[in-house]
Amino acid sequence: MAGALRGVCLRSNETIKRWCATLPPSAGLHHPIIWTSSSLDPYLNLSIEEYLFRKVEVHRPILFIYRNRKSVIIGRNQNPWQESNLEELDRQGISLVRRRSGGGTVYHDEGNTNYSVMLPRDQFERQTNARLVAKAVQEMGIDRVTVTDRYDVCVGDRKVSGSAFRITNKRAYHHGTMLISSNLAQLKGALRPTPNIKIVDSKAVGSVRSPVTSLVDSVTQDINHLRFVHNLSLAFSKHYYPALEHQPVSPQIIGESELENNPFVRAGYDELKSWNWIYGQTPQFTRLFEIASDDDDHQSKTIPVEVTYKNGVIVEIKFDELDMPPSIQHKISTLFSLGDSIDF
């Protein structure tokens, strides 16, 4: 990668301010602010991203680049049982993470590079950042690179990069993935609904599925994470910091030390790993259960029971009580109680 990689610790916003104070004046956006993470922990990297977005008080574009170990990242308003095969995730040792932005579900591994472009809101344009990512891909010698109306980056008719966005009063970010050499077979196995979980109603946002490919399948040249980081850093710098077009790019490295030194990152990390966030934040949904009858007169029957969950707990239980023996009603009441947490 062009330029030196330098380590920096985001211990506090004062540290950030002191580091930024060593840069040239902000007029004209003269110095690119680029960070890369040395960690592969998805919970940590998303917590660092949140810190950079919410706590770094600089009025310039920021680029943050990282990779994660095997993980499925669902959108803020999604249902994990509808979006991923939780049995397969458990079998393969794949982490489940709920991010803070909207959008659909994505699969991460070390063959996938993630980027986040953070901007003052008045400078934020979805199409601009998607085109920067597309340019970074084109600079690796890959043809037929396009940006869709959903701001996905495609090679030919297959997606290599999906995006999600977050906008606040003063700032916004565009973050996404780049499939460089991901295990696509594992991706497809993980991004399927959990079997035997029949959801009959859901307020969650569903993913839009698209055929995907990896960059390594699109070109004979050597394509890897470092090369993409370099190209994206250059495209970002040339667009937002044109005065530095011919100067080397020097990303700052951050990583595991943030867990020990940065209370904001630590708190975000703990929240992202918690049951209350991963499962308890699931939008309201209703699951259909088929309860076997233990009554002699209903030996071959199953009783349909609809159980509605909100904020991770049961809020409604519906079944037809007409002509139902007390023994079956008792069985249902022992299986489901209002206020019980999700346990599947």
CB atoms under 10 Å from CB of 330, counted, come to: 11
The pLDDT of residue 80 is 98
Residues 128, 228, single domain; the answer is yes
Does 274 share its domain with 289? no
pLDDT for 3 equals: 42
Q: How far apart are CA 214 and CA 231, in angstroms?
A: 17
* 16 or 253: which leads in pLDDT: 253
Torsion over CA: 293, 295, 296, 298 (sign): negative
Q: Is 342 contained in some domain?
A: no
Grade residue 321 by pLDDT with cuts at 50, 70 and 90.
Answer: confident
CB hemisphere CA count around 95 (13 angstroms): 19
Contact 2, 249 (CB under 8 A): yes
229 in any annotated domain: yes
Mean pLDDT confidence for 227-239:
93
How many domains does one find in the chain?
2
Same domain, 167 and 314: no
80 and 210 part of one domain: yes
Report the pLDDT value the prediction gives residue 172, as an integer from 0 to 100: 94
Residue 36 lies in a domain: yes
Cβ proximity of 76 and 98 under 8 Å:
yes
Domain membership of residue 293 as a residue range: 285-335
Last residue of a domain, one of 278, 304, 319: 278
343 in any annotated domain: no
Q: Render pLDDT for 140-165 as a digit per residue (tens, 0 to 9).
A: 999 899 999 999 999 999 999 999 99
**Quick one: 293 and 172 in the same domain?**
no
| 312 and 192 co-located in one domain | no
73 with 186, same domain? Answer: yes
Q: Which of 19-23, 96-100, 103-107, 260-264 has the lowest mean pLDDT?
A: 19-23
CATH of the domain at 87: 3.30.930.10
Q: CB of 140 within 8 A of CB of 220?
A: no
Are 177 and 322 members of one domain?
A: no
- Do residue 238 and residue 289 come from a single domain? no
Q: Are 136 and 97 in a shared domain? A: yes
In a domain, 49, yes or no: yes
Please tell me which residue, 278 or 15, carries the higher pLDDT value. 278
What is the average pLDDT value for the chain, to the nearest integer?
88
**Of 249, 278, 307, the domain-final residue:** 278
- Amino acid, res. 70: K
SS3 44: helix
- Cβ proximity of 285 and 204 under 8 Å: yes
**One domain, residues 291 and 154:** no
Give me the pLDDT at residue 89, please: 98
Same structural domain, 25 and 170: yes
Domain endpoint, select from 278, 297, 322: 278
Global pTM value: 0.88
Rg of the chain taking only CA atoms, in angstroms: 23
Is 299 part of a structural domain of the chain? Answer: yes
